[in-house]
C-alpha cells in the first residue's frame, strides 16, 4: 500500500509539491495570526495595567440616567479639582478631558482613517506616559 501511494505521489510531482506548499503556507498563516494576536493582546494588557499606576483615587461625575450611547460620566466642575488639590497629602490633582478628536491638515482634510480617534488632555506637572518606557507615569 505504501509503495502504491509513493508511486502515485511520484507520478504527480507538481500536485504533490503544490499540496505541500499549500499546507506549509496555511500553517504559517495560522501560526502568524496567533502570535500577532497574542502580542497585541499582551501589549494592551500591559498598557491598561499601568495606565492608573500610582493613582490613589479617581473622582468621577455620576450618571443620572444610563443610556447605551452615553458611557462617559458627566464632567465635574473645575472648582472641585481645586478643592481636591488643596487637601493635605494630595501630590497631584488635575482634570482630564477625554473625547473623540480628529487631526486636520492645511486643506481641511482629516488625517488618519476610519478608525476611532481619541483625544486626551495632559495634566500639567505629570510626565506623559509612553507605552513600554520604564518608570514612566501614566497621565492621570
pLDDT at 46 over 90: no
- Largest alpha-carbon pair distance within the chain? 87
pLDDT at 105 over 80: yes
Give residues with Cβ within 8 angstroms of 62, minimum separation 6: 73, 74
Please count the helices (runs of H) and the strands (runs of E) in the chain: 3, 4
Mean of the per-residue pLDDT values of the chain: 78
- Mean pLDDT for 35-45 is 93
- Mean pLDDT for 106-126 is 74
Task: Please give the C-alpha separations between residue 131 and each of 54, 86, 135, 136, in angstroms, as whole numbers.
Answer: 15, 31, 10, 8
For residue 26, the model assigns a pLDDT of 97
Q: What angle do CA 58, 64, 66 make, to 5 degrees?
A: 95
For residue 117, the model assigns a pLDDT of 77
Amino acid at each position: 500500500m505504501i509503495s502504491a501511494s509513493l508511486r502515485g505521489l511520484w507520478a504527480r510531482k507538481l500536485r504533490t509539491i503544490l499540496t505541500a506548499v499549500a499546507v506549509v503556507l496555511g500553517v504559517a498563516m495560522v501560526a502568524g495570526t496567533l502570535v500577532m494576536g497574542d502580542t497585541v493582546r499582551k501589549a494592551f494588557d500591559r498598557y491598561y495595567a499601568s495606565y492608573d499606576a500610582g493613582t490613589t483615587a479617581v473622582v468621577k461625575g455620576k450618571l443620572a440616567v444610563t443610556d447605551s450611547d452615553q458611557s462617559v460620566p458627566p464632567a465635574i466642575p473645575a472648582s472641585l479639582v481645586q478643592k481636591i488639590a488643596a487637601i493635605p497629602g494630595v501630590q497631584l490633582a488635575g482634570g482630564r478631558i477625554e473625547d473623540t478628536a480628529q487631526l486636520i491638515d492645511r486643506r481641511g482634510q482629516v488625517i488618519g482613517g476610519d478608525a476611532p480617534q481619541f483625544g486626551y488632555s495632559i495634566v500639567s506637572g505629570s510626565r506623559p506616559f509612553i507605552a513600554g518606557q520604564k518608570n514612566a507615569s501614566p497621565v492621570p
